[in-house]
Structure 1
């Protein structure tokens, strides 16, 4: 057992991460995050062999935001949430198509997923929230290390500084990530159904909307990729694309400036702020995903799934 002084310290409302993570603008990098994670050999193999992601894409995405966000926003309960998240990965292991063994709790594999959450926060803030200064990126880096300690994982793969992380990230993008079936599956939105909150849309209407929605999300994803990842996957990105992407980012930032701060936040993040600011009790029950995002009934007892009683 760790002594109280050895326990990791959760992030709080004084952190930059609280100010930038959990904003609904982060959904714009959802396809980027999923594909970047899945290009990692171990993660991609785990998704291909164990995940039901492609059977329930929206539901899996929306419900995952609750525990992942909880590791940031749950305050004194954040470590408990982090250990639950780690536990979902305990049985995800095997041998991939190339004969390589993998385990979701391998320190390098688990940290890569966390690194994408951190970089997703940086990219969202940089492109859709008005931008970050270099000192702010350094602070977010330090906070992502503090946040990662809550999982109780080995700190061996974690770079020591923001400049070292940038080298790590470049190395991963250039030399480790792979063009694989799991990543391509994330990028293929041709059969994507409507999001759960729009399930009422007639199929013929969604069939018309799906193509432009898919096209825009893949285009945004390509814009967020490092150049080496674009080259790996065979995407082009022109100067005109870069200009249009910058304009989109400014438009999104302006539009969200009209939205009240609390409404910009995912429910788990909103509840964290409400506890911190005294709107609700510090001991209020944690907010969990609504029933529409739960796994199919027959999978809810699987320990690999976040499936709270709601």
Structure 2
């Protein structure tokens, strides 16, 4: 089954990469903070020039940002909530796609999507951004939970081909300090922000919230990186942060039955009713 047809209820009883009591299950089930964090991660990724060329020149982000965001978000959901076999198939597909992506930056530097450093930056910035958005707007997490969250991401990252992802928050901060000198401003970042503010991602009546979410993503970035990327004009006001906090907390309380987390919980509940081969047991 392709990613567009992902069904988190199948196969019955098959576990995910992570258990339901993991910090990742809690963080990834909030759609408001996942939206904000997802955009913040893309901004950090595209701030690295080799990643920027790999994404902007070889993907559908520019011509179909809404579709690309949906596919990227669904891949994140599969990473945490999908049955392990479903996630393994997705990771293999992504590795095959990365093997075909390579080229040169404007200043002549070679890049390849399966470069270990670039893979690490993409994986780690996504982890960081989802965690920071959740902790800022949904519920703050303590140091033990934050470190556990990073450790939980390592087995899944390995299947994507990522070598030595951060094992804790200190490791993440060290990586950001190491990569930060490579980040640079680009017209692509401004173009991306404009596209994400107007693309058909949310229904038209909710489009102001969509633009607010994009600004929140910029606001989420560390101030030194925000300045280095030239993204200094998108800060949130206090009442806007408060509104996003209310939306994120509300999303956490009123989860749809069709959400990946709820479907995955139903899949795991079937282990009590099904045998190893999926047959009903008495």
Q: TM-score, normalised by structure 2?
A: 0.79
CA distance in 2, matches of 1:84, 1:271: 23
CA shift, 1:122, in A, is 0.7
Does 2:277 match 1:273? no
CA contact (8 A) 1:10 1:79 kept: no
Q: Render the CA deviation track for 1:4-55: whole Å, top value 9, x for unaligned.
A: xxxxx92222321122114312113332222121112221011232122111
**Rounded Cα–Cα distance in structure 2 between residues aligned with 1:47 and 1:177:** 15
Structure 2 equivalent of residue 189 of structure 1: 195
Q: CA deviation at 1:215?
A: 4.2
CA distance in 1, matches of 2:196, 2:74: 26
Greater shift, 243-252 or 225-234, is seen at 243-252
Correspondence list, 1:129-144, <5 A: 129-144=138-153
Shift in CA distance, 262/37, structure 1 to aligned 2, threshold 3 Å: farther
Runs of 4+ aligned residues of structure 1 deviating over 3 Å after TM superposition are 212-215, 241-246, 260-263, 279-284
Give the structure 2 partner of residue 178 of structure 1. Answer: 184
In the other structure, the counterpart of 2:171 is 164
1:100 to 101, 105, 109: 109
> 1:42 is matched with which residue?
50
1:23 matched to 2:30: yes
Count how many residue pairs are aligned between Structure 1 and Structure 2.
258
- 1:261 deviation in Å? 6.1
More displaced stretch, 30-39 vs 271-280: 271-280
Unpaired runs of at least 5, structure 2: 1-15
Deviation at 1:90, TM superposition (A): 1.6
CA contact (8 A) 1:37 1:113 kept: yes
Aligned with residue 68 of structure 2, among 47, 60, 75: 60
Relative distance call for 1:117 and 1:101 in structure 2 (3 A) is same
Distance 1:159 1:258 in 2: 30
Evaluate the alpha carbon distance shift between residue 80 and residue 189 of structure 1 in structure 2; reply closer, same or farther with a 3 A threshold: closer
Match of 2:13?
A: none
Cα shift at 1:143: 0.6
CA distance in 2, matches of 1:134, 1:36: 23
Gaps of 5+ in 1: 1-8, 199-205, 285-310
Instruction: Quickly say closer, same or farther: Cα 1:246–1:65, change in 2 above 3 A.
Output: closer
* Residues 211-252 of structure 1 deviation map (CA, whole Å, 9 limit, x = unaligned): x456423321222011012212140577xx463354234312
Deviation at 1:125, TM superposition (A): 1.7
**8 Å contact 1:35–1:184 — kept in the other structure?**
no
Check whether the contact 2:79–2:156 (CA below 8 A) recurs between aligned residues.
Answer: yes
Pair 1:76–1:283, CA change in 2 (3 A): farther
Equivalent of 2:82, from 67, 74, 79? 74
Say whether the 8 Å CA contact 1:68–1:85 is kept in structure 2. Answer: no
In 2, distance between residues paired with 1:114 and 1:283? Answer: 34
CA shift, 1:154, in A, is: 5.1
* Partner of residue 217, structure 2: 221
Match of 1:300 in 2: none
Output the TM-score relative to the length of structure 1.
0.73
